[in-house]
A and B are shown apart, each in its own frame.
Chain A
Amino acid sequence: MIFSSYIFVFCFLPITLVVYYIFSSGDNSIFQRLFLIFASLFFYGFGNPKYLILLSISLFINYSIALLLQNLISHNYRKILFLFGILFNIGLLIYFKYYNFFITNINFIFKTTFIPQSISIPLGISFFTFQQISFLISIYKKEEEAGSIFNYGLFVTFFPQLVAGPIVLYGEMLPQLNDYKRRFSNADNLVKGICLFVIGLFKKVVIADTISTIVDNGFKISEIGFAAALITSVSYTLQIFFDFSGYSDMAVGLGKLFNIDLPFNFAAPYKSESITDFWRRWHITLGRMLHQYLYLPLGGNKKGSIRTCVNLLVTFLASGFWHGADWTFVLWGGCHGFLVVAERLLGRRLEIIPKKVRIAITFLTINFLWILFRAEKLRYALVMYKGILGLSGIKFWQVSQLAEDGIINFPDIINCLYILMLLLFLLFVVFKCKDSRDIVSDFKATRKNAVCIAIIFCIAVLCLSREVIFIYYKF
């Protein structure tokens, strides 16, 4: 099930919310948690129940390992068990997500003929596996207690964050799950939760899904010229932001509805002054995980300047590979890593460039690299790069094609104006408007904004019929 669907907005969410708070009237919170776990599993398995088997196995094994880790005294046994747990999770990820990638590359390099399997990637596997790895690490380091199976089950399956994050730490969730007051409905949280959910829904279904037409059309053009390539790449830069930040806003909003504070994933990322700054503002919870569980164990910045650069590069390559089993993702991660290393080496010398120029350069660089992220194959990315560098000509006439959606074909001039106005407006929103975190922190309940949020919600409802899947559901 996806957040931006009729069934979620009008059935699943209201029913789950009402039943959840009905259960709060009892003395025992177990029923409430159990209900939320079942609701989350229903959400996850809706449409494809076979994924539930994998999730349940993963949950059961990780929890068992955690209990054993907690109770074992021998340091060696603990270490072996811990390594087994980590390998189990990584193995799961490799099999479901990277198996065909490795087979294809082995066949290519060694001229072997291993047959790729048709393996469908379970929804959100990268997210819940990462979350469980972090859980095992915290138990191994004795930072946390495994706690009850209900708490653990809810920590992994809680539907707002199950499929595409934010990636939550056990230490963040457990105190909230054990907090007695959070069992009962809280009107303030309901209001903030609704606001965030509606803003996220609007970002996703109205903005991101509208621009997706431009992007999809652009990437279909075989000899794209400069004008259409530039518009396509900027459109994708906007699409991925509104899509993923929309999803994250919805997730945080849904968490609030159940009195759970999930971390924000975005902090106005396109206002970044450097690539390093960008990664502090984009997909914050992934960055935090990679920093904590990869960069720091590799030595972080404590082992000299060269080693720091290598560690950064490895972390960014891993980030690219985490996003997808393709060389385009690895290259994308590598390029970001290279730029972060370069910025580190240049240090304060970059500050002589005026701030606005730095923001513009950063935006254009990120925009340029998103092409790698979006292209299904490296050769499609090259076509787009050729276009954006002007090597295929300007070809203004292609711009109008980008707006065609197969429903109504408007005259070329109207299509061009529509694209131009849309992109300028969205760039204004991205650079000049408050982000959702600020909107909610400054939020005051007034009749005016109740009506405004209702209007935004109803406009978003009009776009639900498109049901376009979230970009980050693929990861």
Chain B
Amino acid sequence: MIKRYNKQITSQRWLVNFICSAIIILLFFAVFIFAFDPCFQYRVENRKYFFYERYVAPGLISNYDYDTLVIGSSRAENFDMALFREKFEVKPLLIGIGGMGVKDLTKLMEIAEDVQRAERYYVCIDYSMFLSDRQLVPEYLYHKDILSRWKYATSYEAWFRFIPADICGSIMHVLDIGMPKIMEDKMEIDRYSNWNDYTDSGEKEVISTYVPNKKVLSEFEKEDTLDSMQTEIDAFIDSLNLSRGEYIFFFPPYSCLWWCDVENTGHAEVYYEAKKYFIKRVADKGTIYDFQHAALTLDLNNYCDSGHYDQNINDWMIEQFSNNQYKVTTENINEKLSLMKKNTSEFRKEYLWLWQDTK
């Protein structure tokens, strides 16, 4: 047998052997990925594999059984789905991607609307989303055409990262070998993106990691930034079918330190206008919550850095959703903004040394 394989053959036969072998191997790749499916493009099985935030999002939205979709950036990643179930008696799915931009948000929402599983959508709105044109999820995971499926079947990440890690993880799980908590969490659909247990929070931590932003926007840049944010907001809202389900948008509670920082750079004025614009565009079609003027934003002990809060705040937001508190409309937005500015001003007085020191 080995002798036969080592025997010299004609170049024509070599070419036939090469092409046939390549086709067989590539077909094997496709079948294996279909069966293994680390990005849940064909089916979802909880506690079988690790969940890789950016890579599983389209698959989960397509194939998981849910009626409520909670979606957003790192500010949404710590939502407790058990609390959602308890408060609203729903089947929620959390899709959190750190640093998510509007490109990914739009595409993920499009998939969700296409599959028509969700009756309710909780969408976390960050200003930075509309300033970033980066896409974190590979394009082929958004499509079901044959070329995209082929790219998935032969993707580097699946074969060289996810499959080896999944096999090791599954073996450890089956053999009941203790895995670090962070890896255990990654096998839970409710907790795969949760980072609360792996960061320190408190005033000291926030102050020590705070680096003042030095880039100040010119008047021209302010106009330009607002224009491009409004264009992105338009494109995002136009892509949604707001009549098909219940849409709940919310502005997460950044700390007053974050607001001081964006006031210093001139971004704050742009964000106020962008928020007003967003609310104007969706006010009559969806519900909007604004937590940015909440009193808790003054207390840095709730935060791990100027823009990220700990899980208690996520729980608190769920409480407010259930009590219909902190709703914002076109009528009361100016009042809420004034309150937020007042909070920021109070905070600035108390922490003035922060900016004096950096000078």
Q: A: which residues have CB within 8 A of B?
A: 6, 187-188, 190-191, 194, 405, 407-408, 410-411, 444-451, 453-455, 457-458, 461-466
Q: How far is the CA of A410 from the CA of B168 in the complex (A)?
A: 12
Apart from A6-B151, A450-B9, what 7 extra A-B contacts exist at CB < 8 Å?
Answer: A187-B12, A187-B15, A446-B7, A447-B17, A451-B21, A455-B25, A462-B156
Q: How far is the CA of A438 from the CA of B157 in the complex (A)?
A: 33
Q: Quick check: A191 and B14 within 8 Å, CB to CB?
A: yes
Q: How far is the CA of A213 from the CA of B159 in the complex (A)?
A: 17
Instruction: Pull 17 A–B residue pairs with CB atoms less than 8 Å apart, ordered by A.
Output: A187-B12, A194-B15, A408-B52, A408-B161, A408-B162, A447-B5, A447-B9, A447-B13, A447-B14, A450-B21, A455-B25, A457-B22, A458-B22, A458-B25, A461-B154, A465-B138, A465-B151
Q: Quick check: B9 and A446 within 8 Å, CB to CB?
A: yes
Q: Quick check: A446 and B6 within 8 Å, CB to CB?
A: yes
Q: Which of B14, B21, B29 contacts A462 (CB 8 A)?
A: B29
Provide the residues of chain A in CB contact with B14, threshold 8 Å: 187, 191, 445-447, 449-450
Chain B residue total in the interface (Cβ 8 A): 36
Q: How far is the CA of A445 from the CA of B21 in the complex (A)?
A: 15
Contact with A along B146-167 (1 / 0, CB 8 A): 0000010011110111100100
Q: Quick check: B9 and A445 within 8 Å, CB to CB?
A: yes
Indicate whether B11 reaches chain A with its CB closer than 8 angstroms: yes
Provide the residues of chain A in CB contact with B154, threshold 8 Å: 461-462, 464-465
Q: Quick check: A466 and B165 within 8 Å, CB to CB?
A: no
| Closest Cβ–Cβ distance, residue A412 to chain B (whole Å) | 12
Give the most central of B6, B11, B161: most A CB within 10 Å: B11
Q: How far is the CA of A444 from the CA of B140 in the complex (A)?
A: 39
| Closest Cβ–Cβ distance, residue A446 to chain B (whole Å) | 5
Q: Quick check: B155 and A445 within 8 Å, CB to CB?
A: no
| Closest Cβ–Cβ distance, residue A40 to chain B (whole Å) | 24
Provide the residues of chain B in CB contact with A463, threshold 8 Å: 156, 160
Provide the residues of chain A in CB contact with B26, threshold 8 Å: 458, 461
Indicate whether B220 reaches chain A with its CB closer than 8 angstroms: no
Q: Which residue of A lies closest to B140 (CB)?
A: A465
| Closest Cβ–Cβ distance, residue B161 to chain A (whole Å) | 5
Q: How far is the CA of A375 from the CA of B55 in the complex (A)?
A: 32
Indicate whether B358 reaches chain A with its CB closer than 8 angstroms: no
Indicate whether B10 reaches chain A with its CB closer than 8 angstroms: yes
Q: Quick check: B151 and A190 within 8 Å, CB to CB?
A: no
| Closest Cβ–Cβ distance, residue B165 to chain A (whole Å) | 6
Lowest 7 CB-CB distances: which A-B pairs, in order? A454-B21, A187-B11, A450-B17, A445-B14, A448-B5, A458-B25, A454-B22
Q: How far is the CA of A447 from the CA of B9 in the complex (A)?
A: 7
Q: Quick check: B15 and A190 within 8 Å, CB to CB?
A: yes
Provide the residues of chain A in CB contact with B356, threshold 8 Å: none
Provide the residues of chain A in CB contact with B13, threshold 8 Å: 445, 447
| Closest Cβ–Cβ distance, residue A24 to chain B (whole Å) | 17
Provide the residues of chain B in CB contact with A188, threshold 8 Å: 11
Q: Which of B11, B25, B138 contacts A445 (CB 8 A)?
A: B11
| Closest Cβ–Cβ distance, residue A191 to chain B (whole Å) | 5
Provide the residues of chain B in CB contact with A6, threshold 8 Å: 151
Provide the residues of chain A in CB contact with B7, threshold 8 Å: 446-447
Provide the residues of chain B in CB contact with A447, threshold 8 Å: 4-7, 9, 13-14, 17
Q: How far is the CA of A188 from the CA of B13 in the complex (A)?
A: 11
Provide the residues of chain A in CB contact with B353, threshold 8 Å: none
| Closest Cβ–Cβ distance, residue B2 to chain A (whole Å) | 8
Give the most central of B26, B55, B156, B162: most A CB within 10 Å: B156
Q: Which residue of A lies closest to B55 (CB)?
A: A407
Q: How far is the CA of A453 from the CA of B15 in the complex (A)?
A: 11
Q: Quick check: B22 and A462 within 8 Å, CB to CB?
A: no
Q: Which residue of A lies closest to B136 (CB)?
A: A406
